Amino acid sequence: MKIIKTARSKIAAWIKQKTRTHFPLRYAARNGLVSYAKPYLDPAALVGKMIGNGLTVANPAQAEDFLRKTNYYRFKVYLRPYLTSPNTKTFVPGSDFDSALQLYQFDEELRSFVFGLTSLVEVRFRHIMDQRLTVFTNDPFWYLQSEPYKSFPHRTLRLLRGSFDGSKEVFAKYYLSKYHSVVDGQYNFLPPFWIASEVLTLGQLHKFVQSFEKSFFAPATPTGTNELDALAKDFGAFNVGHLTKWLEYVRNLRNWCAHHSRLWNRHMAEPPNVERNLSVKAPSRHLLYHNLAMLRIMLKSQGQSDGVKVAMLALFAKYPVADAEKRRMGFPNNWTSDPFW
């Protein structure tokens, strides 16, 4: 019976998607969608609208100038904490434009800092993954063989091949002008992993780890450690399953920062096996605080300084509004008293 329900659900979803693609007006009518008809508002009108909804704007000219340089739709998410409720457009009495602007500026600096941490993890992970798995297999081209995978990562390798073939880097041009691999077939011109890893994105590295067949990396003796679990422990993770999740969340952080997306109060997945490291418990495990703790564990395990405590204290001092809202990022009020930091 469960199989029949699952099949029906998939068929219904397929029909819905086809209707949306080929009969958009019919799809819109069935789902109660209406044509978007809101007019464009210039910065002066937008400031007037905010004031009309109860927001204090001490310097309207300065607010207008800001909105000439910044998309209002991008900025309005920083106004949401000051709404009377998420589904209204009116502001809590006493709310002001400068507080939202301070949150916006805080988030910009926060993204720059977190992006730097993800870069440190990415560079170090490329190197340690290459060291461990190339030594284990005794094959510089191990990643082009089928045995290490439960599902061969053709898509990832095709993306890598395109990146490497089109790379302007001197090392890539030199390799392509002089060498090919011992692996026959469509990936014959890809280099050893220690070279290939330099053009792999963090997302592609994650795809490799996700595709691995763990049993292939089993030790020669029953008392040894699986090489993938050993790689995980190099970064403070309990096992490769946890490491795979951590890499996914580091990639998410990196992408949000790189694409200038809101970070400070974003709802995030909980990194596994992080909570047990914290003595002072957070109000939520699904916010930035736990993800910063994950980055600290990974970098500390590699002997690298993260600077999270110093950087966050400096940001909170510079932006008091953000300090007052730190629980929205998952920070406990007494987080600095935790020996973890």
pLDDT 10s digits, 227-236? 999 999 999 9
How many structural domains does the chain have? 3
Task: Give the domain-ending residue among 95, 112, 135.
Answer: 95
Residues 6+ apart with CB under 8 A from 138: none
| Closest to 297 in 3D by CA, of 315, 332, 271, 321 | 271
300 vs 114: CA distance, rounded Å: 15
Residues 176 and 317 both lie in one domain = yes
Q: Is the pLDDT of residue 193 over 80?
A: yes
- When the pLDDT of each residue in the chain is averaged and rounded to a whole number, the result is 93
What does pTM read for this prediction?
0.89
Residue 51 in tokens: 């004031």
pLDDT tens for each residue of 22-51: 888 888 898 998 998 889 999 999 999 999
Least confident of 21-35, 193-207, 318-332: 21-35
% residues pLDDT > 70 (the chain): 99
Q: Are residues 33 and 176 in the same domain?
A: no
Which one is predicted more confidently, 10 or 218?
Answer: 218
250-273 average pLDDT score? 96
pLDDT tens for each residue of 275-322: 999 999 999 999 999 999 999 999 999 999 999 999 999 999 999 999
Secondary structure (DSSP) of 203-263: HHHHHHHHHB-GGGG--SSTTS--HHHHHHHHTT-SSHHHHHHHHHHHHHHHHHHHTT---
Report pLDDT for 197: 93
Are 62 and 139 contained in the same domain?
no
Closest CA to 134 of 207, 175, 214, 193: 193
Query: Are 254 and 322 contained in the same domain?
Result: yes
Q: Are residues 20 and 112 in the same domain?
A: no
E strands, the chain, in order: none
pLDDT at residue 200 is higher than 90: yes
Q: How far is C-alpha 27 from the chain's CA centre?
A: 32
pLDDT, one tens digit per residue, over 74-128 is: 999 999 999 998 888 899 999 999 999 999 999 999 999 999 999 999 999 999 9
Give me the domain span that covers residue 83.
43-95
The one-character DSSP state at 98 is H
Beta bridge partners, 96, equal: 56
Burial per residue of 56-92, b for 16 or more beta-carbon CB atoms within 10 angstroms, e otherwise: ebeeeeebbebbeeeebeebebbbebbbeeeeeeebe
Residue 1's pLDDT band (cuts 50, 70, 90): low
Same domain flag for 48 and 177 = no
Statement to judge: residues 241 and 313 lie in one domain: yes
> Which H or E run contains 49?
helix 43-52
Task: Specify whether 298 is located in the same domain as 283.
Answer: yes
Task: Tell me what the mean pLDDT of segment 53-77 comes to.
Answer: 96
| pLDDT for the residue 208 | 95
Helices 154-165 and 202-211: angle between axes, nearest 10 degrees: 150
In terms of domains, do 231 and 335 share one? yes
Residue 135 has pLDDT above 90, yes or no: yes
Residues 171, 195 within the same domain: yes
Residues 115 and 261 in one domain: yes
Tell me: do 293 and 165 sit in the same domain: yes
